[in-house]
């Protein structure tokens, strides 16, 4: 279960930003539907979802990219160490608009719960070299499992015995990745959590397409579920025919009587919106069923606003396994106090120096006009929260085009 993500010096993100799923106790709205009550920790209340808003170029995608970078580096660190320097891509992930950050590492940290225990794992990397790495766990109190500065390791000899293999780790390899590849028990458990930390680009379909295909091949319940979900599109079924995913439609004669069925290839013969929805439903079903975390950049692209609302509502009201949903969006109709609590909405925006800043709606207090009954959409579009600036149609702009 996801708790918090931090990163710094990554693309447009200069100083550390922090996204967390903690609730604000003073907020009482949607307490029965929007909060995870069984997370293995009696001392924590966690949100089922958050939505991140911001203007074009504000840094929404870079924040999600930072999460994906962390997951990918952990997954590939050990394998990538076998590559030569010539095979590695150029290191250009640091914040390039400041002289302060050019020769400094990019840093990432994530906190999550496994079996009631909080883990806090992070690392710093520069030019594909690991400069720092750390892992802590909290049961009753926080305990260091290992810390790394360059090639110097500090290992908890009693609480993390598997870490004694650190001398075998190269400077470009994450210790956690190395240990997981060698089936070390605690590291493997954490590695598996990252593998189930699902991150999707809402403008691309590849990631969730594989989920949908696998579920159609192996899960009879999903085949029934997606058939019901797509009735409003007059799609009778989704299937795999000749190794391709197809949507099955009814065929009619000149008198509108059903004469048979027609299979349309989802990738090439359905609309982009229909394609996105079908593939997204596989990821959504899997997330709800397994109680994992699903992160989607550009969630609302290609989807009708009513459909976006229904999907978020489905996640809130019928999520019984502790699943979590993190999205970036532009659609202002989702900024509704019937859809989200005040602590579920975040904003990201660039300052005058080109660096992205992430902040929650909850930092705007009642004294600033924010209440549970406020019109979030209107306040956002009126730039009450920032992160909504748009092109300025000035006289200079008009004169230059004329």
The model's pLDDT over 42-65, given as tens digits with 9 standing for 90+, comes to: 788 999 999 999 988 899 999 999
Q: How confident is the model at residue 257 (pLDDT cuts 50, 70, 90)?
A: confident
Nearest-angstrom CA–CA distance, 2 and 114: 9
Task: Report the side by side order of strands in the sheet with 129-138.
Answer: 17-20, 2-8, 106-114, 117-126, 129-138, 142-149, 152-155
According to DSSP, the residues that pair with 135 across neighbouring strands are: 121, 146
Q: How confident is the model at residue 81 (pLDDT cuts 50, 70, 90)?
A: low
Rounded to 5 degrees, φ, ψ at 3 are: -110, -50
- What is the mean pLDDT of the segment spanning 19-39? 91
Quick one: tokens of 169?
């780790």
Per-residue model confidence as pLDDT tens digits over 336-395: 999 999 999 999 999 999 999 999 999 998 767 788 888 899 998 988 888 888 778 888
Q: Taking 70 as the threshold, does the pLDDT of residue 86 lie above it? A: no
Output the DSSP codes for 251-282. EE-TTS-EEEEEEEEHHHHS-HHHHHHHHHHH
- Residue 305 CB neighbours (<10 A): 12
Nearest-angstrom CA–CA distance, 359 and 365: 13
Nearest to residue 276, comparing CAs of 199, 326, 225, 207?
207
Nearest-angstrom CA–CA distance, 6 and 20: 9
Nearest-angstrom CA–CA distance, 360 and 381: 16
Residue 53, pLDDT score? 95
Rounded to 5 degrees, φ, ψ at 269 are: -120, -5
Q: How confident is the model at residue 316 (pLDDT cuts 50, 70, 90)?
A: very high
Instruction: Specify whether the CB–CB gap between 78 and 177 falls below 8 A.
Output: yes
Q: Supply the mean pLDDT for the chain.
A: 90
Cα–Cα distance list, 306 to 78, 150, 321, 345 (Å): 44, 51, 25, 19
Nearest to residue 285, comparing CAs of 340, 349, 230, 204?
230
Give the residue with greater pLDDT, 8 vs 379. Answer: 8
- What is the mean pLDDT of the segment spanning 263-284? 89
CATH domain 1-196+295-392 topology: Rossmann fold (3.40.50)
Q: How confident is the model at residue 137 (pLDDT cuts 50, 70, 90)?
A: very high
> Collapsing DSSP states into helix, strand and coil, what is residue 338?
coil
Residue 145, pLDDT score? 97
Give the residue with greater pLDDT, 116 vs 397. Answer: 116
Q: What residue spans of 50-106 are helical by DSSP H?
A: 60-80
Residue 10 is given by DSSP the state B
> Collapsing DSSP states into helix, strand and coil, what is residue 173?
coil
Domain boundaries, the chain: 1-196+295-392, 202-291
Give the residue with greater pLDDT, 83 vs 109. Answer: 109
Q: What is the DSSP pairing of strand 106-114 with strand 117-126?
A: antiparallel
Per-residue model confidence as pLDDT tens digits over 149-178: 999 999 999 999 999 999 999 999 999 999
User: The whole model's pTM is what?
Assistant: 0.92
Residue 13, pLDDT score? 97
Q: How confident is the model at residue 82 (pLDDT cuts 50, 70, 90)?
A: low
Residue 163 is given by DSSP the state G
Q: How confident is the model at residue 194 (pLDDT cuts 50, 70, 90)?
A: very high
Rounded to 5 degrees, φ, ψ at 351 are: -85, -175
Residue 231 is given by DSSP the state G
Q: How confident is the model at residue 77 (pLDDT cuts 50, 70, 90)?
A: confident
- What is the mean pLDDT of the segment spanning 270-279? 88
Instruction: Specify whether the CB–CB gap between 58 and 387 falls below 8 A.
Output: yes
Nearest-angstrom CA–CA distance, 402 and 400: 5
Cα 152 → chain centroid = 32
């Amino acid at each position: 279960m996801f708790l918090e993500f931090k990163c710094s010096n990554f693309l447009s993100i200069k100083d550390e930003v922090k996204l967390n799923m903690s609730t604000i106790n003073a907020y009482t709205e949607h307490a029965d539907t929007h909060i995870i009550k069984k997370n293995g920790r009696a001392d924590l209340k966690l949100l089922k979802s958050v939505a991140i808003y911001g203007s074009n170029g504000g840094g929404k995608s870079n924040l999600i990219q930072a999460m994906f970078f962390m997951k990918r580096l952990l997954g590939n660190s050990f394998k990538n160490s076998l590559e030569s320097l010539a095979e590695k891509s150029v290191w250009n992930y640091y914040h390039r608009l400041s002289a302060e950050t050019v020769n400094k590492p990019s840093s990432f940290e994530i906190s999550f719960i496994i079996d009631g225990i909080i883990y806090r794992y992070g690392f710093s990397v520069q030019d594909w070299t690991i400069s720092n790495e750390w892992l802590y766990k909290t049961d009753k109190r926080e305990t260091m499992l290992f810390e790394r500065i360059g090639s110097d390791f500090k290992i908890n000899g009693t609480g993390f015995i598997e870490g004694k293999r650190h001398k075998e780790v190269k400077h470009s390899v994450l210790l956690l990745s190395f240990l997981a590849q060698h089936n070390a028990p605690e590291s493997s458990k954490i590695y598996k959590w990252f593998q189930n930390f699902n991150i999707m680009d809402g403008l691309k379909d590849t990631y969730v397409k594989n989920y949908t295909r696998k579920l159609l091949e192996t899960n009879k319940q999903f085949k029934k579920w997606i058939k019901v979900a797509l009735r409003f599109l007059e799609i009778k079924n989704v299937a795999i025919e000749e190794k391709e995913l197809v949507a099955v439609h009814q065929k009619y004669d000149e008198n509108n009587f059903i004469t048979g069925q027609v299979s349309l290839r989802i990738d090439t013969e359905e609309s982009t919106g229909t394609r996105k929805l079908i593939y997204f439903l596989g990821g959504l079903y899997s997330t709800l069923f397994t109680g994992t975390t699903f992160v989607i950049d550009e969630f609302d692209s290609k989807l009708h606003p009513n459909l976006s609302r229904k999907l978020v509502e489905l996640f809130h009201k019928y999520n019984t396994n502790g699943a979590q949903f993190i999205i970036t969006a532009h659609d202002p109709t989702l900024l509704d106090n019937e859809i989200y609590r005040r602590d579920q909405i975040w904003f990201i925006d660039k300052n005058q120096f080109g660096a992205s800043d992430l902040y929650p709606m909850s930092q705007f207090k009642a004294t600033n006009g924010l209440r549970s009954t406020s019109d979030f959409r209107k306040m956002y579009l009126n730039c009450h929260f920032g992160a909504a600036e748009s092109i300025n149609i000035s006289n200079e702009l008009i004169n230059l085009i004329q």
